[in-house]
Amino acid sequence: MNFFVRKPWDMHQSQHTPLEVYRQRKLHRRNFLRALGISGASVGLSTVLSGCSKPTDKEIEQAGEAPVPAAAENRYPAPSDERFTYGRPETRKRDAAEYTNFYEFSTRKDSWQYVERFQPDPWTFEVGGLCNKPRKFDMDDVYKTFQLEERAYRHRCVETWAMCVPWTGFPLRELLRQVEPQPAAKFVAFETFNRPSEAPGINNSPDNPWPYSEGLTVAEAMNELALLATGIYGEPMPKQHGAPIRLVVPWKYGFKSIKSIAKITLTDKQPSTFWNTLIPHEYGFEANVDPQVSHPRWSQAREWMLPDRSNRFDTVVYNGYGEFVGGLYS
Ligand SMILES: Nc1nc2c(c(=O)[nH]1)N[C@H]1C(S)=C(S)[C@@H](COP(=O)(O)O)O[C@H]1N2
Ligand SMILES: [Mo]
Protein backbone atom coordinates (compact mmCIF):
# COMPACT_ATOMS: atom_id res chain seq x y z
CA MET A 1 0.00 0.00 0.00
CA ASN A 2 1.58 3.22 -1.09
CA PHE A 3 -0.58 5.65 0.84
CA PHE A 4 2.29 7.11 2.83
CA VAL A 5 4.92 7.08 0.12
CA ARG A 6 5.28 10.60 -1.14
CA LYS A 7 6.34 10.83 -4.73
CA PRO A 8 8.05 14.17 -5.34
CA TRP A 9 5.78 15.17 -8.22
CA ASP A 10 2.60 14.50 -6.26
CA MET A 11 0.83 17.21 -4.41
CA HIS A 12 0.44 15.57 -1.07
CA GLN A 13 -3.02 15.68 0.38
CA SER A 14 -1.65 17.13 3.61
CA GLN A 15 -0.60 20.24 1.71
CA HIS A 16 -4.04 21.24 0.60
CA THR A 17 -6.25 19.68 3.25
CA PRO A 18 -6.82 21.12 6.70
CA LEU A 19 -4.73 19.19 9.22
CA GLU A 20 -7.73 17.85 11.14
CA VAL A 21 -9.25 16.42 8.00
CA TYR A 22 -5.95 15.08 6.75
CA ARG A 23 -5.25 13.22 10.01
CA GLN A 24 -8.66 11.65 9.81
CA ARG A 25 -8.43 10.69 6.16
CA LYS A 26 -8.48 6.96 6.75
CA LEU A 27 -11.49 7.33 8.99
CA HIS A 28 -13.31 9.36 6.36
CA ARG A 29 -12.56 6.74 3.76
CA ARG A 30 -13.69 3.89 5.99
CA ASN A 31 -16.89 5.67 6.92
CA PHE A 32 -17.59 6.31 3.30
CA LEU A 33 -16.99 2.73 2.29
CA ARG A 34 -19.03 1.45 5.22
CA ALA A 35 -21.88 3.68 4.11
CA LEU A 36 -21.67 2.01 0.74
CA GLY A 37 -21.66 -1.40 2.34
CA ILE A 38 -18.16 -2.29 1.20
CA SER A 39 -16.28 -4.26 3.84
CA GLY A 40 -12.72 -3.63 4.88
CA ALA A 41 -11.74 -7.08 3.68
CA SER A 42 -12.72 -6.54 0.07
CA VAL A 43 -11.03 -3.15 0.01
CA GLY A 44 -7.92 -4.66 1.55
CA LEU A 45 -7.82 -7.39 -1.04
CA SER A 46 -8.22 -5.08 -4.00
CA THR A 47 -5.53 -2.79 -2.58
CA VAL A 48 -3.15 -5.70 -2.21
CA LEU A 49 -3.88 -6.94 -5.70
CA SER A 50 -3.45 -3.57 -7.33
CA GLY A 51 -0.57 -2.43 -5.16
CA CYS A 52 1.74 -5.43 -5.45
CA SER A 53 1.30 -6.77 -8.96
CA LYS A 54 1.24 -4.71 -12.11
CA PRO A 55 -2.32 -4.49 -13.43
CA THR A 56 -2.87 -5.88 -16.91
CA ASP A 57 -3.93 -3.69 -19.84
CA LYS A 58 -7.28 -5.43 -19.71
CA GLU A 59 -7.86 -4.75 -16.01
CA ILE A 60 -7.19 -1.06 -16.53
CA GLU A 61 -9.36 -0.93 -19.63
CA GLN A 62 -12.31 -2.68 -18.02
CA ALA A 63 -12.15 -0.54 -14.89
CA GLY A 64 -12.41 2.65 -16.95
CA GLU A 65 -15.01 1.55 -19.49
CA ALA A 66 -17.93 3.97 -19.56
CA PRO A 67 -21.40 3.38 -21.03
CA VAL A 68 -22.28 5.66 -23.96
CA PRO A 69 -25.59 6.61 -25.60
CA ALA A 70 -26.73 4.87 -28.78
CA ALA A 71 -25.81 7.91 -30.87
CA ALA A 72 -22.12 7.25 -30.12
CA GLU A 73 -22.29 4.11 -32.21
CA ASN A 74 -20.10 4.17 -35.33
CA ARG A 75 -18.59 7.54 -34.37
CA TYR A 76 -15.25 6.04 -33.33
CA PRO A 77 -12.59 6.25 -34.54
CA ALA A 78 -13.17 9.70 -36.03
CA PRO A 79 -11.20 11.12 -38.97
CA SER A 80 -7.86 12.53 -37.95
CA ASP A 81 -7.03 16.22 -38.26
CA GLU A 82 -3.71 16.01 -40.10
CA ARG A 83 -2.57 19.45 -38.95
CA PHE A 84 -1.63 18.06 -35.57
CA THR A 85 1.39 15.86 -34.93
CA TYR A 86 3.14 15.12 -31.65
CA GLY A 87 6.75 15.46 -32.76
CA ARG A 88 7.40 12.64 -30.26
CA PRO A 89 6.28 9.02 -29.91
CA GLU A 90 2.65 8.52 -28.88
CA THR A 91 2.09 7.51 -25.26
CA ARG A 92 0.76 3.97 -24.89
CA LYS A 93 -2.94 3.82 -24.06
CA ARG A 94 -2.46 1.93 -20.82
CA ASP A 95 0.28 4.26 -19.61
CA ALA A 96 -2.05 7.25 -19.99
CA ALA A 97 -5.01 5.40 -18.45
CA GLU A 98 -3.03 4.17 -15.45
CA TYR A 99 -1.62 7.58 -14.47
CA THR A 100 -4.32 10.22 -14.32
CA ASN A 101 -5.11 13.29 -12.26
CA PHE A 102 -8.75 13.25 -11.17
CA TYR A 103 -9.02 14.44 -7.58
CA GLU A 104 -12.70 13.55 -7.36
CA PHE A 105 -11.47 9.95 -7.26
CA SER A 106 -7.89 9.93 -6.00
CA THR A 107 -4.96 12.25 -5.33
CA ARG A 108 -2.47 9.54 -6.26
CA LYS A 109 -2.82 9.16 -10.05
CA ASP A 110 -4.53 5.80 -9.61
CA SER A 111 -8.05 7.07 -10.16
CA TRP A 112 -8.82 4.19 -12.56
CA GLN A 113 -9.13 2.07 -9.42
CA TYR A 114 -11.81 4.30 -7.89
CA VAL A 115 -14.18 5.10 -10.77
CA GLU A 116 -16.39 2.02 -10.45
CA ARG A 117 -19.40 3.89 -9.06
CA PHE A 118 -19.12 6.86 -11.39
CA GLN A 119 -22.15 7.10 -13.74
CA PRO A 120 -21.30 9.16 -16.84
CA ASP A 121 -24.40 7.97 -18.73
CA PRO A 122 -26.99 9.42 -18.97
CA TRP A 123 -25.35 12.83 -18.74
CA THR A 124 -26.58 16.36 -19.23
CA PHE A 125 -24.74 19.63 -18.95
CA GLU A 126 -26.13 23.10 -19.17
CA VAL A 127 -24.65 25.95 -21.16
CA GLY A 128 -25.89 29.34 -20.02
CA GLY A 129 -25.05 32.77 -18.67
CA LEU A 130 -24.49 35.67 -21.07
CA CYS A 131 -25.80 34.08 -24.25
CA ASN A 132 -28.94 34.34 -26.38
CA LYS A 133 -29.82 30.65 -26.47
CA PRO A 134 -28.98 28.96 -23.18
CA ARG A 135 -29.80 25.27 -23.23
CA LYS A 136 -29.10 21.83 -21.85
CA PHE A 137 -27.26 19.21 -23.86
CA ASP A 138 -27.31 15.50 -23.26
CA MET A 139 -24.70 13.30 -24.88
CA ASP A 140 -27.17 12.22 -27.57
CA ASP A 141 -27.45 15.89 -28.57
CA VAL A 142 -23.67 16.15 -28.59
CA TYR A 143 -23.19 13.13 -30.83
CA LYS A 144 -25.97 14.26 -33.18
CA THR A 145 -24.95 17.92 -33.37
CA PHE A 146 -21.17 17.93 -33.67
CA GLN A 147 -18.78 16.45 -36.17
CA LEU A 148 -16.09 14.52 -34.36
CA GLU A 149 -12.44 14.52 -35.31
CA GLU A 150 -9.28 13.07 -33.85
CA ARG A 151 -6.45 15.34 -32.77
CA ALA A 152 -2.95 14.25 -31.76
CA TYR A 153 -2.08 16.63 -28.91
CA ARG A 154 0.78 16.95 -26.46
CA HIS A 155 -0.35 17.27 -22.83
CA ARG A 156 1.74 18.93 -20.14
CA CYS A 157 0.89 18.72 -16.44
CA VAL A 158 2.31 21.42 -14.16
CA GLU A 159 3.84 18.58 -12.11
CA THR A 160 6.18 18.10 -15.14
CA TRP A 161 4.83 14.85 -16.52
CA ALA A 162 3.73 14.91 -20.14
CA MET A 163 2.04 12.65 -22.66
CA CYS A 164 1.07 12.50 -26.35
CA VAL A 165 -2.47 11.23 -26.90
CA PRO A 166 -5.10 11.26 -29.65
CA TRP A 167 -8.31 12.91 -28.41
CA THR A 168 -11.64 12.58 -30.21
CA GLY A 169 -13.84 15.64 -30.02
CA PHE A 170 -14.94 18.90 -31.57
CA PRO A 171 -13.91 22.54 -31.15
CA LEU A 172 -15.35 24.23 -28.05
CA ARG A 173 -16.25 27.19 -30.25
CA GLU A 174 -18.74 25.05 -32.18
CA LEU A 175 -20.64 24.49 -28.93
CA LEU A 176 -20.44 28.16 -27.97
CA ARG A 177 -21.80 29.20 -31.36
CA GLN A 178 -24.89 27.10 -30.65
CA VAL A 179 -25.77 29.26 -27.63
CA GLU A 180 -24.79 32.62 -29.23
CA PRO A 181 -22.56 34.38 -26.68
CA GLN A 182 -23.43 38.01 -26.02
CA PRO A 183 -20.77 40.71 -26.49
CA ALA A 184 -20.67 41.29 -22.71
CA ALA A 185 -19.36 37.72 -22.18
CA LYS A 186 -15.63 37.85 -21.51
CA PHE A 187 -15.01 34.51 -19.79
CA VAL A 188 -16.22 30.93 -19.96
CA ALA A 189 -16.59 29.12 -16.62
CA PHE A 190 -16.64 25.32 -16.41
CA GLU A 191 -17.78 23.02 -13.61
CA THR A 192 -17.47 19.28 -13.04
CA PHE A 193 -20.18 17.10 -11.43
CA ASN A 194 -20.39 17.02 -7.63
CA ARG A 195 -21.61 13.60 -6.53
CA PRO A 196 -19.75 12.33 -3.47
CA SER A 197 -21.56 8.98 -3.58
CA GLU A 198 -19.92 8.23 -6.94
CA ALA A 199 -16.53 9.82 -6.38
CA PRO A 200 -14.67 8.87 -3.17
CA GLY A 201 -12.09 11.65 -3.52
CA ILE A 202 -14.76 14.24 -2.84
CA ASN A 203 -15.46 12.78 0.60
CA ASN A 204 -11.78 12.23 1.31
CA SER A 205 -11.17 15.98 0.98
CA PRO A 206 -14.53 17.47 2.00
CA ASP A 207 -13.15 20.99 2.40
CA ASN A 208 -11.87 21.28 -1.14
CA PRO A 209 -13.81 23.77 -3.26
CA TRP A 210 -15.93 21.17 -5.09
CA PRO A 211 -17.12 20.97 -7.73
CA TYR A 212 -13.82 21.19 -9.63
CA SER A 213 -13.98 24.33 -11.72
CA GLU A 214 -11.95 26.04 -14.41
CA GLY A 215 -12.16 28.96 -16.79
CA LEU A 216 -10.92 30.52 -20.00
CA THR A 217 -11.29 33.92 -21.60
CA VAL A 218 -13.83 33.91 -24.42
CA ALA A 219 -10.96 34.58 -26.85
CA GLU A 220 -9.16 31.45 -25.61
CA ALA A 221 -12.35 29.42 -25.73
CA MET A 222 -12.91 30.48 -29.36
CA ASN A 223 -9.38 29.46 -30.36
CA GLU A 224 -9.40 26.51 -32.71
CA LEU A 225 -7.14 24.46 -30.40
CA ALA A 226 -9.67 24.39 -27.54
CA LEU A 227 -11.33 21.00 -27.84
CA LEU A 228 -14.27 19.36 -26.12
CA ALA A 229 -13.24 15.71 -26.07
CA THR A 230 -15.61 12.76 -25.86
CA GLY A 231 -12.98 10.11 -26.54
CA ILE A 232 -9.33 9.13 -26.58
CA TYR A 233 -7.34 6.54 -28.56
CA GLY A 234 -10.20 6.20 -31.05
CA GLU A 235 -12.73 5.12 -28.38
CA PRO A 236 -15.24 6.78 -26.07
CA MET A 237 -13.65 8.46 -23.06
CA PRO A 238 -12.77 6.14 -20.16
CA LYS A 239 -14.08 7.32 -16.81
CA GLN A 240 -10.70 8.29 -15.38
CA HIS A 241 -9.89 10.51 -18.38
CA GLY A 242 -13.09 12.51 -17.83
CA ALA A 243 -16.06 10.68 -19.36
CA PRO A 244 -18.32 11.61 -21.00
CA ILE A 245 -16.97 15.01 -22.04
CA ARG A 246 -13.97 17.11 -21.02
CA LEU A 247 -11.99 20.11 -22.08
CA VAL A 248 -8.55 19.88 -23.72
CA VAL A 249 -6.46 23.07 -23.95
CA PRO A 250 -3.00 21.76 -24.84
CA TRP A 251 -1.11 25.07 -24.62
CA LYS A 252 -2.00 25.37 -20.93
CA TYR A 253 -1.00 23.26 -17.93
CA GLY A 254 -3.14 20.18 -17.59
CA PHE A 255 -5.22 21.40 -14.64
CA LYS A 256 -7.04 23.77 -17.02
CA SER A 257 -8.36 20.78 -19.01
CA ILE A 258 -11.36 20.12 -16.79
CA LYS A 259 -12.94 16.66 -16.87
CA SER A 260 -16.54 15.42 -16.82
CA ILE A 261 -18.12 18.80 -17.49
CA ALA A 262 -21.53 19.42 -15.95
CA LYS A 263 -21.94 23.16 -16.50
CA ILE A 264 -20.61 25.87 -18.80
CA THR A 265 -21.36 29.54 -18.08
CA LEU A 266 -20.59 32.65 -20.10
CA THR A 267 -19.78 35.50 -17.77
CA ASP A 268 -18.35 39.03 -17.67
CA LYS A 269 -16.14 38.29 -14.64
CA GLN A 270 -13.11 36.06 -14.31
CA PRO A 271 -14.48 32.95 -12.62
CA SER A 272 -12.93 31.40 -9.54
CA THR A 273 -11.23 28.08 -10.21
CA PHE A 274 -10.48 25.00 -8.09
CA TRP A 275 -6.68 25.20 -7.90
CA ASN A 276 -6.53 28.98 -7.78
CA THR A 277 -8.95 28.93 -4.84
CA LEU A 278 -7.02 26.18 -3.03
CA ILE A 279 -3.45 27.47 -3.54
CA PRO A 280 -3.57 30.91 -5.20
CA HIS A 281 0.17 31.60 -5.11
CA GLU A 282 0.87 28.38 -7.02
CA TYR A 283 -1.88 28.22 -9.63
CA GLY A 284 -2.81 31.23 -11.72
CA PHE A 285 -5.79 31.66 -13.99
CA GLU A 286 -3.93 31.89 -17.30
CA ALA A 287 -1.53 28.98 -16.71
CA ASN A 288 0.06 28.87 -20.15
CA VAL A 289 2.96 26.40 -20.43
CA ASP A 290 6.15 28.43 -20.04
CA PRO A 291 9.61 26.96 -19.37
CA GLN A 292 10.84 30.32 -18.03
CA VAL A 293 8.31 30.63 -15.22
CA SER A 294 8.95 28.18 -12.41
CA HIS A 295 6.19 26.83 -10.23
CA PRO A 296 7.18 27.18 -6.53
CA ARG A 297 7.65 23.42 -6.30
CA TRP A 298 8.67 22.46 -9.83
CA SER A 299 11.04 24.00 -12.34
CA GLN A 300 9.18 24.08 -15.63
CA ALA A 301 12.29 23.97 -17.83
CA ARG A 302 12.06 20.22 -18.49
CA GLU A 303 9.35 17.59 -18.61
CA TRP A 304 9.20 13.79 -18.72
CA MET A 305 7.03 11.52 -20.82
CA LEU A 306 4.77 8.92 -19.25
CA PRO A 307 5.62 6.37 -18.02
CA ASP A 308 9.35 6.96 -17.84
CA ARG A 309 10.79 9.73 -15.70
CA SER A 310 14.15 9.44 -17.42
CA ASN A 311 12.56 10.16 -20.84
CA ARG A 312 13.03 13.92 -20.58
CA PHE A 313 12.52 16.81 -23.00
CA ASP A 314 12.96 20.57 -22.87
CA THR A 315 9.66 22.32 -22.25
CA VAL A 316 8.52 24.61 -25.07
CA VAL A 317 6.57 27.83 -24.53
CA TYR A 318 2.82 27.33 -25.12
CA ASN A 319 3.70 23.62 -25.15
CA GLY A 320 4.78 24.17 -28.77
CA TYR A 321 1.42 25.60 -29.90
CA GLY A 322 2.58 29.21 -30.31
CA GLU A 323 1.59 29.31 -33.99
CA PHE A 324 -2.03 28.76 -32.95
CA VAL A 325 -2.29 30.74 -29.73
CA GLY A 326 0.67 33.16 -29.59
CA GLY A 327 -1.51 35.92 -31.03
CA LEU A 328 -3.85 35.74 -28.02
CA TYR A 329 -1.15 37.05 -25.71
CA SER A 330 0.93 39.51 -27.76
N1 LIG B 1 -12.62 17.45 -12.79
C2 LIG B 1 -11.28 17.37 -12.82
N3 LIG B 1 -10.65 17.68 -13.96
C4 LIG B 1 -9.29 17.60 -14.03
C5 LIG B 1 -8.52 17.24 -12.89
C6 LIG B 1 -9.23 16.91 -11.70
O7 LIG B 1 -8.64 16.56 -10.66
N8 LIG B 1 -10.60 16.97 -11.70
N9 LIG B 1 -7.14 17.20 -12.97
C10 LIG B 1 -6.52 18.04 -14.02
C11 LIG B 1 -5.09 17.81 -14.17
S12 LIG B 1 -4.09 18.41 -12.95
C13 LIG B 1 -4.56 17.25 -15.30
S14 LIG B 1 -2.89 17.14 -15.52
C15 LIG B 1 -5.43 16.64 -16.32
C16 LIG B 1 -5.03 15.20 -16.50
O17 LIG B 1 -5.73 14.57 -17.55
P18 LIG B 1 -5.59 12.98 -17.66
O19 LIG B 1 -5.60 12.45 -16.26
O20 LIG B 1 -6.74 12.52 -18.49
O21 LIG B 1 -4.27 12.71 -18.29
O22 LIG B 1 -6.81 16.68 -15.96
C23 LIG B 1 -7.23 17.89 -15.36
N24 LIG B 1 -8.67 17.89 -15.21
MO1 LIG C 1 -1.92 18.41 -13.83
| pLDDT at residue 122, rounded to an integer | 98
C-alpha dihedral sign at 38, 209, 299, 86: positive
| pLDDT at residue 52, rounded to an integer | 65
List, for residues 36-67, the tens digit of each pLDDT value.
544 333 443 454 455 568 999 999 999 999 99
Atom in ligand 1 nearest the alpha carbon of residue 253:
14
Q: How confident is the model at residue 307 (pLDDT cuts 50, 70, 90)?
A: very high
Query: What's the Cα-to-Cα distance from 317 to each of 167, 171, 222, 302, 321, rounded to whole Å?
Result: 21, 22, 20, 11, 8
Span between the terminal Cα atoms of the chain, in Å: 48
The span from the CA of 65 to the CA of 59, in Å, is 10
What residues flank ligand 1, with Cβ below 6 Å?
96, 100-104, 157, 192, 212, 241-242, 254-255, 257-260
Q: Flag whether pLDDT at 182 surpasses 50.
A: yes
pTM for the whole structure: 0.86
Average model confidence (pLDDT) across the chain: 89
Domain ranges of the chain: 13-37+55-328
Q: 25: CA distance to ligand 1 center in Å?
A: 22
What mean pLDDT do residues 274-284 have? 96
Are residues 128 and 266 in contact, defined by beta-carbon separation less than 8 angstroms? yes
CA-nearest residue for atom 5, ligand 1, is 102
Q: What is the residue type of 1? A: M
Ordered strands of the 124-129 beta sheet: 135-138, 124-129, 261-267, 187-192, 213-217
The span from the CA of 224 to the CA of 323, in Å, is 11
**Most ligand 1 atoms within 8 A of CB, residue of 158, 257, 261, 263 to mutate:** 257
Could you please state the CATH topology (level 3) that the domain comprising 13-37+55-328 is classified under. Sulfite Oxidase; Chain A, domain 2 (3.90.420)
Please report the beta strands in the chain, taking only residues with DSSP state E, as ranges in sequence order.
124-129, 135-138, 149-156, 161-171, 187-192, 213-217, 227-232, 235-236, 246-248, 261-267, 302-305, 312-314
C-alpha dihedral sign at 244, 121, 215, 148: positive
